[in-house]
Structure 1
Amino acid sequence: MNLYTKLLSFLLFFVLHFQVIAQTKFVMAGLTHGHSHWIFQPSFQGDFELVGVFEPNTEVARQFQERYGLEESLFFEGLESMLNETNPEGVLAFGPISQHIEIVRAAAPRGIHVMVEKPLAYSREEAEEMEQLAKKHEIHLLTNYETSWYPSTDALIHKGKTEEDQFGRVRKAVFHHGHRGPKEIGVGKEFLDWLTDPEQNGAGALVDFGCYGANIMTLLMDGKLPQSVTAITQTHKPDVYSHVEDEATILLAYEGAQAIIQASWNWPFDRKDMDVYFEKGYIRAPEKERIDMRFGNQKEEMVQFLDKKQTGTYENPFQYFAEVIRGQINLPPYGLYTLENNVIVSKILDAAIESAKTGQTVHLTP
């Protein structure tokens, strides 16, 4: 091999290697969501680079800068200027749910992909506008849920869909999501302020935790819209949550199936678990790395502890987003992160809010 050939081989290796390790450029729009700290923590690092942050609350921005030793040059005074100056590939939306639409309106025409913290929206109208913008400008618009990282969620969905001969079709699902309440668990004031504001969050526990069950049920039902939504809400702690409910139950009726979504800021302990009943058996996910199941003629329940390496579960939403942008991950139909799933989730939340206000069942149409 002559010198020229060696040099060419080295350059080719360098180019291919660089393409593999090239970091995806992200910016963050909003820091007031409690989960905004993740991207600054070692366990959430990956093949991406944060090149800009816009947070209108200057005190919150200062706290992040000091806590994580961030350069002042990372912070911008406006969303538009940040997008123009950094030319990112993706935007991470970690502020009030009501701001998601403004971020998509700014990012989509520039061809910049977006990932929002759950839910996509609490308004059907805003969700549909975001969907139109994403499709028109051919961007990915993902929604991140913590339960999307759980091996138990992966395993339950996989078994329910690939082992239908053993379990049969979904008949009923019961979802339990919540905790003692955002104030009780000590979320930051800047998070609590908008989380308990119906103008910025749409509702209280209904939106905050009702979205999880709607997201998972939509995938289990292959993207079918429920025929009707009925919601009951209460406020058990009016001295703490004076503007929004802290307790919600949402009933989804499908042809041949139903879901009961229990969303609460009153659980005595943190909960993110579910029970799914099929024609021939059931699967429960009591913990994020465990499922319990029974089907057919089994007399005893089977308990399976899960290894995230075996299930292939992504625990890092930022890495997942980067790989979707780079085309390394093809999103499954009605997958938990997908736009098509989360537009349906937004329609369910919109109907649930209306049902809770009117005391009437809301019938949905596509």
Structure 2
Amino acid sequence: MQHRSIFLLTVLFFLLISDTHAQAPPLRVAVAGISHGHSGWILGRTGKPDIEVAGIWEPDTALAAKAARQYNIPRNRFYTNLAAMLDALKPEAVLAFGSVYAHLEVTEACAPRGIHVMVEKPLAANLAHARKMEALARKHRIHLLTNYETSWYPSVHKSLQLALDSNYTGTLRMARFNHGHQGPKEIGCSPEFLAWLTDPVLNGAGALTDFGCYGANIMTALMRNEAPVSVTAVTRRFKPKVYPKVDDDATIVVDYPGAQAVIQASWNWTFNRKDMELYGTQAALSAPDAATLIRRGTSGRPQETKVTPEELKVYTDPFVYLAAVVKGKETVAPWSLYSLENNVMVVRILEAAKISAKTGKSVPL
């Protein structure tokens, strides 16, 4: 009888442990700003128990009311005061979906409270903001992550993996990044989004910031801790009547001691694209979309493969990645796509590109 009781207690214990593991508490987050067109990624994220949106800070009450109706969110979850929301809700992390300029304000509010932050790309609107954000994150020991759509692409992860393997591609010599679309107004971005996306202060620039950051982010991950030697850029305003305050096209050349990156960012292309080409001394890789990888050896013949998240065990949801990092299940590798050091370098490259475009000269880093 005693042995039977011990057995039943043991079974009950393991059932309780199993149930607790299966029902791990969700990451409790708050949203800071919803004017970014990507805010729907979190506001409309339903049916997944891993993230709990406890509250939303949005000072534009009309925009807040619109989002409440669109996503069926109770109005009492919206706040007009960021500090009051953070103190009332005490979230584990905050997701910033306002202007790029507002990323500093969000970090200044969250870091001293020990709240982790994920911002939409790029990290900051200018280098001074990036440096302040970096200092705050390191001082208060919070994670400060930057989210790019291309960070979820299996083809990008596989390209990084293979390009960093010198036996596969040889030494990297040239990288070309093509990121852009027809233009934010042309594709139907909301008035609230356009208001700051086309503002040289609130966004930092136009297409140069909006799409130039992708190539800078991936190239920095490829080069790891090797800084560029110089940055040279040319910007254009092909549609000054549509975008009178900012550039709508940018070509950025980033030089390294043994390699070069050409970043093409545009609001003038006939279709949406996010693709790249990497050229090594032994082979070239191209990633035309999120799931396709093409290798060409010295013969030039293409070898196409499909890449799956399961194969690489990569994250295809930024919020799942954030939860894993905050809960200690995932470590942010130095110079990796989401990392702070990478994204400070991205802002350094973009800042140098803006100066180069303005002066007509290469800018040393």
Which category describes the TM-score, using the shorter chain as reference length? over 0.9
Match of 2:141 in 1: 138
Q: Distance in 2 between matches of 1:25 and 1:338?
A: 21
1:122 aligned onto 2:125 = yes
Match of 2:335 in 1: 334
Match of 2:350 in 1: 349
Paired residue secondary structure (1:284): strand
The answer (yes or no) to whether the contact 1:23–1:49 under 8 Å persists in 2 is yes
Q: Distance in 2 between matches of 1:298 and 1:27?
A: 52
Q: Normalization by structure 1: what TM-score?
A: 0.95
Deviation at 1:256, TM superposition (A): 0.6
Alignment of 1:185-224 (within 5 A): 185-224=187-226
Deviation at 1:120, TM superposition (A): 0.2
Deviation at 1:9, TM superposition (A): 5.8
1:111 aligned onto 2:114 = yes
Paired residue secondary structure (2:73): coil
Q: Distance in 2 between matches of 1:325 and 1:46?
A: 16
Q: Name which of structure 1's ranges 317-326 and 120-129 shifts more when overlaid on structure 2.
A: 120-129
Q: Distance in 2 between matches of 1:104 and 1:287?
A: 33
Q: 1:289 to 1:66 in 2, by over 3 A?
A: same
Q: Name which of structure 1's ranges 85-94 and 305-314 shifts more when overlaid on structure 2.
A: 305-314
The answer (yes or no) to whether the contact 2:178–2:275 under 8 Å persists in 1 is yes
Q: Distance in 1 between matches of 2:49 and 2:287?
A: 28
Match of 2:52 in 1: 49
The answer (yes or no) to whether the contact 1:122–1:349 under 8 Å persists in 2 is no
Identical aligned residues as a percent: 47
Match of 1:228 in 2: 230
1:32 to 22, 35, 57: 35
Deviation at 1:315, TM superposition (A): 1.6
Q: Which runs of 5+ in 1 are unaligned?
A: none
Q: Normalization by structure 2: what TM-score?
A: 0.95
Q: Distance in 2 between matches of 1:166 and 1:36?
A: 39
User: Over aligned residues, Cα RMSD in angstroms?
Assistant: 1.7
Q: 1:111 to 1:293 in 2, by over 3 A?
A: same
Matched letter for residue 290 of structure 1: T
1:157 to 153, 160, 163: 160
The answer (yes or no) to whether the contact 1:38–1:44 under 8 Å persists in 2 is no
Q: Which runs of 5+ in 2 are unaligned?
A: none
Deviation at 1:161, TM superposition (A): 1.4
Match of 2:83 in 1: 80
Q: Distance in 1 between matches of 2:18 and 2:29?
A: 22
Paired residue secondary structure (1:181): coil
Matched letter for residue 324 of structure 1: V
1:300 aligned onto 2:298 = no
Q: Distance in 1 between matches of 2:117 and 2:188?
A: 29
Q: Name which of structure 1's ranges 25-34 and 307-316 shifts more when overlaid on structure 2.
A: 307-316
